[in-house]
């Protein structure tokens, strides 16, 4: 008998999500690798064996046993696109949008992202951290065990670095692991109105080097992201920013084709970006490019839903092209204040045409690849981190089918119970 820290057993369905070291691409998406009456052995926070309850109970003696009582067990959700941390809210703008104003109209009039920038610039680091901790607590309760977090509400060097400091503090103060992204090109700040190319110069010459210095200081890998959109940063400006970022050691992401199909997705693939996100208006030829490169396509169905739009990421076309599709919330105070990956799954099933199994893989394994952590998280395979959910249902197909209530009963992070409801 081998001694381990934990044996989680009697899972009615244990969703392993087999990876072979890769995301599940194209129409191969949706392989859950279910083990009936499954068990997981964990030692030092790492999965050491996965199999049937009978076989693992014969091999392992554990300090702690958790009986899943026939319920479904899955990997923790990975949310690879959030705009945490920010300060304040924009309930007033939602009211305007309900009355007919569009998101881009509000932004052009100086509201939108700039309104959150004002609040975030004025908040202290401590205020930013305190205000965002409860959001992470809700994410964890709803099953998110790792997430990406972006700057982009500072838009000046000191305020962008303050957001990075807040992400690091939040990462250290609670169980959800955060992958930080530097997004100084999230909007053109009002002081640069009409002078976008000068702001791009500032991003390239001052902000990106400052972020790179932060990376060195804290020994933390950063992604660099750009909001490539009509009226914000065009494809040439996005390319200039991302090429400089790559030269400074950042990994790349792009907000692409959210409102207009400008070409951000194709650029992301060409530059070898880790992910291209949104992809609502992506031209067909650009979708085809996702089948060639390693860039993960991230669908954010909460965003069109949050905006009351009817067009969603064309998942079928992306899968037919052989692309690797992930899901995320886009959690932010403007377009989509939603902390729940379960909600993203429910929307993806309805409006992106994914089956529950496809959506579950997109929200775990493929989402892990979208933040370059596919080797450590996103599936219940030997050698991976023991980030595990015990659901409040024996059948994974209840994910997506049911929405608005929490189907996660227990959350384990690195083999330790961190949330129970
Ligand atoms: O992903 N599109 C740009 N950024 C966010 C919205 C941010 C905001 O409105 O505060 C998005 O939708
Ligand atoms: Fe976003």
Average pLDDT, the chain: 97
Tokens standing for residue 402: 């049911």
**In a domain? residue 374:** no
Q: How far is the CA of 318 from the centre of ligand 1 (A)?
A: 23
Q: How far, in Å, CA of 134 to CA of 116, rounded?
A: 18
Check residue 230 and give its pLDDT: 95
Q: Is 175 in the pocket of ligand 1 (CB under 6 A)?
A: no
> If you average pLDDT over residues 348-377, what whole number do you get?
98
pLDDT tens digits, one per residue of 241-264: 999 999 999 999 999 999 999 999
Q: Is 151 in the pocket of ligand 1 (CB under 6 A)?
A: no
Q: How far is the CA of 222 from the centre of ligand 1 (A)?
A: 19
**Residue 307 belongs to a domain with what CATH number?**
3.20.20.140
| One domain for residues 166 and 250 | yes
Q: Within 13 A of 295's CA, how many CA atoms are on the CB side?
A: 33
pLDDT tens digits, one per residue of 171-202: 999 999 999 999 999 999 999 999 999 999 99
Q: How far, in Å, CA of 278 to CA of 299, rounded?
A: 5
Give residues whose Cβ lies within 5 Å of ion ligand 2.
330
Q: How far is the CA of 300 from the centre of ligand 2 (A)?
A: 8
- DSSP letter for each residue of 146-199: EEEEE--S--SHHHHHHHHHHHHHHHHHSSSEEEEEEEEESS--GGGTT-HHHH
Ligand 1 atom nearest to 333, measured from its CA:
10
* DSSP code, position 295: P
Strand partners, 150: 181
Tokens standing for residue 364: 């775990």
Query: pTM for the complete prediction?
Result: 0.98
Burial 36-57 (b: 16+ CB within 10 A, else e): ebbbbbbbeebbbbbbbbeebb
**In a domain? residue 217:** yes
Domain span at 33: 2-76+379-420
Check residue 110 and give its pLDDT: 85
| One domain for residues 117 and 226 | yes
Check residue 109 and give its pLDDT: 87
With the most atoms of ligand 1 within 8 angstroms of its CB, the residue from 84, 91, 113 to mutate is: 113
- DSSP letter for each residue of 76-131: PEEE--------S--HHHHHHHHTT--HHHHHHTT-THHHHHHHHHHS-HHHHHHH
Q: How far is the CA of 335 from the centre of ligand 1 (A)?
A: 6
Q: How far is the CA of 225 from the centre of ligand 1 (A)?
A: 12
Tokens standing for residue 168: 């690091």
**In a domain? residue 143:** yes
pLDDT value at 40 more than 90: yes
> If you average pLDDT over residues 82-93, what whole number do you get?
97
Q: Ligand 1: which residue has its CA nearest to atom 12?
A: 335
pLDDT value at 108 more than 90: no
Other beta carbons within 10 angstroms of residue 122's beta carbon come to 11
Q: How far, in Å, CA of 400 to CA of 27, rounded?
A: 19
Q: Identify the band that residue 31 occupies on the pLDDT scale cut at 50, 70 and 90.
A: very high
Q: How far is the CA of 295 from the centre of ligand 1 (A)?
A: 21
Check residue 246 and give its pLDDT: 98
Are the beta carbons of 30 and 24 closer than 8 angstroms?
A: yes
Percent of the chain with pLDDT over 70: 100
Q: Is 113 in the pocket of ligand 1 (CB under 6 A)?
A: yes
| One domain for residues 401 and 318 | no
Strand partners, 227: 255
**Residue 49 belongs to a domain with what CATH number?**
2.30.40.10
Which residue, among 349, 358, 354, has the nearest Cα to 402 in the 3D structure?
Answer: 349
Q: Is 116 in the pocket of ligand 1 (CB under 6 A)?
A: yes
Q: Identify the band that residue 16 occupies on the pLDDT scale cut at 50, 70 and 90.
A: very high
pLDDT value at 129 more than 90: yes
pLDDT tens digits, one per residue of 293-320: 899 999 999 999 999 999 999 999 999 9
The structural domain count of the chain equals 2
> If you average pLDDT over residues 342-350, what whole number do you get?
98
pLDDT value at 286 more than 90: yes
Check residue 373 and give its pLDDT: 98
């Amino acid at each position: 008998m081998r001694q381990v820290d934990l044996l989680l057993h009697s899972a009615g369905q244990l969703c392993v999500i087999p990876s072979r070291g890769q995301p599940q691409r194209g129409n191969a998406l949706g392989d859950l690798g279910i083990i009936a009456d499954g068990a997981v052995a964990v030692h030092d926070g790492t999965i050491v064996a996965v199999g049937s309850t009978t076989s693992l109970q014969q091999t392992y003696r554990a300090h702690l046993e958790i009986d899943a009582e026939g319920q479904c067990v899955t990997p923790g959700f990975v949310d690879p696109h959030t705009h945490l941390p920010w300060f304040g809210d924009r309930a007033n703008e939602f009211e305007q949008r309900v009355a007919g104003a569009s998101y881009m109209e509000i932004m052009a009039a100086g509201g939108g992202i700039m309104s959150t920038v004002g609040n975030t610039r004025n908040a202290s680091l401590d205020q930013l951290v305190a205000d965002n901790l409860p959001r992470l607590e809700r994410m964890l309760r709803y099953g998110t065990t790792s997430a990406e977090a972006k700057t982009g509400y500072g838009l000046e060097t000191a305020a962008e670095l303050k957001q990075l400091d807040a992400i690091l503090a939040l990462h250290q103060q609670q169980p959800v692991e955060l992958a930080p992204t530097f997004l100084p090109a999230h909007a053109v700040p009002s002081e640069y109105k009409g002078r976008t190319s000068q702001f791009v110069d500032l991003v390239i010459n001052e902000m990106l080097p400052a972020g790179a210095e932060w990376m060195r200081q804290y020994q933390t890998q950063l992604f660099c992201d750009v909001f490539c959109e009509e009226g914000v940063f065009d494809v040439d400006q996005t390319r200039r920013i991302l090429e400089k970022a790559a030269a400074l050691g950042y990994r790349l992401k792009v907000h692409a084709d959210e409102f207009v199909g400008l070409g951000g997705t194709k650029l992301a693939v060409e530059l070898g970006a880790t992910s291209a996100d949104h992809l609502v208006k992506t031209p067909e030829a650009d979708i085809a490019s996702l089948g060639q490169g390693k860039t993960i396509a991230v669908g954010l169905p909460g965003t069109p839903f949050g905006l009351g739009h009817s067009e969603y990421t064309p998942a079928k076309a992306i899968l037919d092209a052989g692309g690797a599709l992930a899901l995320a919330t886009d959690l932010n105070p403007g377009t989509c204040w939603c902390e729940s990956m379960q909600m993203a799954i429910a929307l993806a099933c309805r409006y992106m045409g994914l089956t529950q199994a496809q959506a579950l893989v997109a929200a775990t394994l493929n989402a892990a690849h979208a933040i370059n952590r596919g080797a450590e998280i996103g599936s219940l395979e030997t050698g991976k981190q023991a980030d595990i959910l015990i659901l409040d249902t024996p059948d994974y197909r209840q994910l997506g089918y049911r929405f608005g209530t929490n189907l996660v009963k227990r959350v384990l992070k690195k083999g330790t119970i961190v949330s129970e409801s």
